[in-house]
Amino acid sequence: MSTLFLDSSKYNLSRQLEACRSTRCRRGKVARLPFGLRQRINLMLDDGVPYKTIIEKLGDAGKQLREDNIGNWRTGGYQDYLKAQMISDRARAQTESAADLLREAGPVTSAQIQEACSQVALLAYLDSLIESGQTLARNTFKKNPAKMVTLMNTICNLANAGRQLDKQKTLLLKNGSDQGHQTQD
């Protein structure tokens, strides 16, 4: 499972994307350029193109830019872009890996999918607790103590769902073996 989740302690994609956004709005010259031009700059920075060459390749759109504008963007907005790319790549890799596993596994029941999802969620939660458990718990429960009740209910519901799945499996195995004995008679 760990190969599917490169950094499962930060599994929530929407929370990760939100974290990529700067706490303040970027207001530099590059940040004020249209999205398409910023993307071109980001791609050239990815390729290691020198600042002066980036400005030249932008043509008229880059004539008001100086090398220090590109440098400032590289340490600010470009870092946001890199984080968003990393999250997007991770999500894509996880989705592709999960799809490959499902294809290789053949027919999969909804119970198996539910069980796998529960295990993935639990592993991700445990990873986040291990990484920043005390601080996270202290801050969360200090702000909203009712979250402890919600957390406990969620854990109990997951455990209960697991027990119910085990009961269903046992019944299915028992019914299958009973029918096998009846056909032999």
- Among 86-90, 133-137, 151-155, which is the least confidently predicted range? 133-137
Q: Per residue in 16-63, pLDDT tens?
A: 545 545 556 888 999 999 999 999 999 999 999 999 999 999 999 999
State which H helix or E strand residue 70 sits in. helix 67-75
Domain boundaries, the chain: 11-106, 107-185
pTM of the model: 0.50
Helices and strands: H and E segment counts in the chain: 7, 0
Average pLDDT value for residue range 112-140: 68
State which H helix or E strand residue 53 sits in. helix 51-58
- Among 25-29, 61-65, 140-144, 176-180, which is the least confidently predicted range? 176-180
- Among 30-39, 80-89, 99-108, which is the least confidently predicted range? 99-108
Q: CA-based Rg of the chain, rounded to a whole angstrom?
A: 25
Quick one: 26 exposed, middle or buried, by C-beta within 10 A (0-12, 13-18, 19+)? Answer: middle
Query: Which pLDDT does position 22 carry in this prediction?
Result: 52
